Amino acid sequence: MRYSILIAAIVATASYAETDQLYPPLIPKEATPYVAPTPTQKKWALATCGILTESNQGRHDLLGSFTANQANKEAEQKLLARWWGDQNREDLLGTFQWIEAGGHRRGFDQLAHTLTKASPEQLKNFLSVVAGDNDKSNQVAIALKYKDEFGAKSIIAWDFDRYVALCGWGYLAGYLSEDEAWQRIMPVARLLQKTFSSWEDLGRNHIVGREFWSWEQTQDRGSVTLQSYKKLLTEPSSPWIKLKWDLDLSPPKPSANKSQTTPATGAGEVRLGGLPSGNMDLYASGNNGCIIRINGADVITVRRDKAGKARVGLQAGDLITVRLSDRFDINSFWMSCLTTNELFLFETSERWTSYIPADTEQWWLIKGAKQQKPAKFASNKREYVDLVKKSAATTPHYKYAQPICSVLNDGTRIAYVYYVVTRNDLIPKR
């Protein structure tokens, strides 16, 4: 308790603007249609989580580091549940969002910021408070030692190496398709290549991040992690030795003789099963001030008196989250998605989910949601539903679907719903 109070006292004397600026969307949306990476690019990307693969005695050339089969599927599901709390696909998507929104970097950066702003007296008092707690004193020591050296890099390798690994583990567990995994991995690989100068630089940041994460795990398996790091830097068969750090990771150019409707397992598959990124129009209406996010990024804010429109690019597995403000008892929301030539794709339905977020400050993160229940269609008797429908009816191909509403109330005026895009959603319906 004294630890938390002391941090609050120090923080009260400092601006958090600097810390907040460390969390823009670090993984940009691909600006071009997805084209599968080359075999060499895949090996390079998998090598970013090489320390984890080596520590787990896995293979560096396999997505997920082990063969995809039923036994490994069941084993990976158990491991994801045990270590990450991920029981299903939605939980895994929530974990991806958590990492993108700061992951363990937030804790490291907040502590580094606090220690930097502390006066000598505050710092002395702070160190005395944490002296009897191994975890906290370890984190303070790590932050003090590396805060200036790492700067804006923070412990990015620790967070995003695991992001890459999670994509592979999610694939083995059956929560992601192989293509979905690679579409998430490659932008992260490019981010890591841009952030660090070498495999050694990347690996060192990973090790420090792991030490910051857990004093207990550092005591238990820290030596294994360090041995894996050294082996990757020296073993002739290591991917870190075989692959140059500055390998070109640019997306390959689509082959001229490849169809844009290549099957999902094909090496030349175009993102969204043939619909390039940004080739869709999203229409929506709902509670005044209703906010729509896709994978945590703001897309549009809409009202009930006029339908809003946004040009988007969606792929299977993308997460649409909606925050409905105004009053809970009148919450209602409608949305449809069309191709730019106005072919209908999908719209709101009772397949959407009501939820209460674990943290209302980061409401778009569904991982760890306090409650979840299927959304339901809003009754025509509900106030303002007629206006939401009237606005929706002004959009192309309105299917007369009823607006939906959240059925969960956390005691505030706010309601939340989400939806995970499926492959079928991206197939035009005539």
Q: The tokens of 50 are what? A: 């090489």
Tokens coding 114: 């606090």
Instruction: Give pLDDT tens digits for 282-303.
Output: 999 998 889 999 988 888 888 8
* Last residue of one domain, picked from the residues 242, 265, 290: 242
Which residue type occupies 161? D
Q: Are residues 282 and 420 in the same domain?
A: yes
* Beta strand ranges found along 146-296 (DSSP E): 280-286, 290-294
Q: Residue 264: inside a domain, yes or no?
A: no
Query: How many structural domains are present in the chain?
Result: 2
Phi and psi torsions of 188, nearest 5°: -70, -40
351-362 pLDDT, tens digit each: 999 999 998 888
Whether 247 maps to a domain, the answer reads no
Mean pLDDT of the chain: 84
Sign of CA dihedral 97, 100, 105, 110: negative
Domain assignment of residue 175, yes or no: yes
Distance, first Cα to last Cα, the chain? 61
Domain shared by 220 and 309, yes or no: no
Claim to verify: residue 63 and residue 153 sit in the same structural domain: yes
In degrees rounded to 5, what are phi and psi of residue 287?
-50, 140
Phi and psi angles of residue 405, each rounded to the nearest 5 degrees, phi first: -145, 155
Same domain, 157 and 298: no
Task: Tell me, yes or no, whether 248 lies in a domain.
Answer: no
Sign, CA dihedral 352-374-81-208, equals positive
Residues 12 and 146 in one domain: yes
In 3D space, the residue among 83, 355, 26, 49 whose CA is nearest the CA of residue 181 turns out to be 49
- Nearest Cα residue to 193 out of 228, 166, 148, 156: 156
193 and 282 co-located in one domain: no
Both tokens assigned to 119: 């006066």
Residue position matching structure tokens 């939820």 = 355
Encode pLDDT of 310-347 as tens digits: 888 888 888 999 999 878 889 999 999 998 888 889 99
Residue with tokens 């994801």: 80
* DSSP annotation of 420: E
Residue whose C-alpha is closest to residue 319's, from 162, 105, 100: 100
The answer on 175 and 230 residing in a single domain is yes
CA proximity to 290, closest of 139, 154, 173, 403? 403
Between the alpha carbon of residue 215 and those of residues 133, 134, 138, 210, 229, the distances in Å are 10, 7, 6, 9, 18
- Asked if the structure places residue 259 within a domain, the reply is no
Range of the domain at 96: 2-242
Which segments of the chain have a pLDDT < 70? 1-26, 28-33, 254-278, 398-400, 430
- Helical H runs in 16-133? 17-20, 39-47, 50-55, 70-84, 89-100, 105-117, 120-130
pTM of the prediction?
0.63
Q: For residues 388 and 288, state if they share a domain.
A: yes
Q: Is residue 318 part of a domain?
A: yes
Task: Tell me the β-bridge partners of 372.
Answer: 355
Helix (H) or strand (E) holding 377: strand 376-377
